[in-house]
Amino acid sequence: MSNKKVADSRLSTWKGPIFHNSTLHLHRVYASFEGLIDSAEIEAAAVPVRQFQRRSGQEVASDNYIGFWTLVFAVNGGLVAVRLPRFDDKEREDGTATDRCIAVYTMGNVFIEEVDRVADDFRLNLAKHPALVKRNVVAEDQPAAVL
């Protein structure tokens, strides 16, 4: 099922998942990319976010889900991991191919404002990609509507 929020999909050593409005807004922009950019371009959008540390591979979650990537950002008090889903939903029940919603995880003493800052910065960088600009996909600055 597209964009499904799976609250019991845990990563060992991380707290979460978190589905906050900023995360859901980021997901809407990310889901617009199907077939438009490659993985190197996604990583390139994360690198300018000042807290970007690394991307990790296809970690297996507690429910055996293997996401596309996990992007890790260092923030005051800990780490924020943004787990990107795959584009594997062939049924497209909601019009997108993402099989799950982006999920965010934290490690350490991380405030929700830090999660929001990382998600918003990454979303704005993604939205600057020429493929999305051509398609008029907008990364509004107002809060995201809940999916």
Place of tokens 């978190």: 18
In the prediction, which pLDDT does 133 show? 58
Alpha-carbon distance 102 to 39, whole Å? 16
C-alpha dist (Å) from residue 128 to 45, 59, 98, 124? 9, 28, 20, 7
Q: Is the pLDDT at 97 greater than 70, yes or no?
A: no
pLDDT digits (tens, 9 = 90+) for 53-88: 888 877 778 787 777 788 899 998 899 998 888 766
79 alpha-carbon distance from chain centroid: 15
Domains, the chain, ordered by start? 15-134 (3.30.310)
Share of the chain above pLDDT 70, in %: 73
Pairing of strands 69-75, 78-84: antiparallel
Q: Is the pLDDT at 115 greater than 60, yes or no?
A: yes
In the prediction, which pLDDT does 93 show? 62
Q: Is 118 left (phi over 0), alpha (psi -120 to 50) or beta?
A: alpha
Segment among 85-89, 104-108, 131-135 with least mean pLDDT: 131-135
CA neighbor of 56 nearest in space, from 66, 78, 68, 71: 71
